[in-house]
Homo-oligomer: A and B are copies of this chain.
Amino acid sequence: MEIIGEKINTTRKDVQKAVRERDAAFIQELAQKQAEGGAAFLDVNSGLALYPEEEAEDFAWLVPLIQKTVDLPLCIDSGRPQPIEAALKLHRGKAMINSVNGDPAKMGEIFPLVKKYGCKVIALTSSREGGIPATSEERLKIAQTIATEAQKYGVPLGDIYFDPLVMALSTQHGNGTLFLETLRGIKKNLGEAKTVSGLSNISFGLPKRRLMNQVFLVLALGCGMDAAILDPTDKALMAMIRAGETLMGKDPFCAKYISAFREGRLDV
């Protein structure tokens, strides 16, 4: 499972402050720690910037700063195409864009960038008019629409990470199985397409969120989820992912599991 580190996000107050004040050391430490924790990508979100120009400037500062610190590709997380392109221009290696969805206008903005810069892209199984559909079938239909549209731009299916979309279990007790069904459906029907999600919404409004998030991650891993947006410095969660991947047969001779043990990564 590819881990996308979630911590460089300006919706977190301390990150917002660090970005506004251009506190390089703070950002570099966040990047370093997530890389050490096992991140394959780092999400970078500066969406609290007031204007697109300001967000583009933020990215122009953040992207080289982070890539100078860690040798990882970034996941450029923004609702605006201009700042995304500003980030991509400075990005080294194969970036990921977070995100496109089933909205034709959105696809028209994002897919040309995906193609031009040879990126990966996260695709939410929602649309502008219909919001987040209530059934797995409708979400799959949106995923199929996105896959078809991507093809027109020459974007390979294997570069698209579909997000089945997690909603809180506290509002509807079937939201967990709805997510897992959608995930399995995408894996089954969309060939090489990848799947990704942030999982913590599932536990919104419930106690012991950490427990629930951990268990949900393992269930998603069991259904073949390819990537997750989470906190790679959460040692317990990362240990469960390591154990889960080994259990899912993806670790010949359990070599990665045993290495993780020797490095103290399973001590939680």
The interface of chain A, by Cβ under 8 A from chain B, is: 169-170, 173-174, 176-177, 180, 202, 206-208, 211-212, 214-216, 218-219, 221-223, 239-240, 243-244, 246-249, 251-254, 257-258, 261, 266, 268
Contact = CB atoms under 8 A, between A and B. Distances in A.
B252 A173 contact: yes
Given A222-B223, A249-B173, A243 B257 contact: no
Given A173-B252, A207-B261, A215 B243 contact: yes
What's the number of copies of this chain in the assembled complex?
Answer: 2
B247 A219 contact: yes
A266 B210 CA distance: 11
A173 B245 CA distance: 11
A239 B251 CA distance: 27
A25 to B, nearest CB: 34
B258 A207 contact: yes
A188 B207 CA distance: 34
A215 B218 CA distance: 7
Nearest to A257: B206
Contacts of A173: 246, 249, 251-254
A180 B221 CA distance: 13
Given A173-B246, A173-B254, A215-B240, 9 more contacts: A174-B249, A176-B247, A177-B248, A202-B247, A208-B243, A212-B243, A218-B222, A219-B247, A222-B223
**Nearest 8 interchain pairs by C-beta:** A176-B247, A177-B249, A215-B243, A218-B218, A222-B222, A207-B261, A219-B222, A208-B266
A207 B266 contact: yes
11 contacts: A170-B254, A177-B249, A208-B243, A208-B266, A211-B240, A211-B266, A211-B268, A212-B243, A212-B246, A216-B243, A222-B222
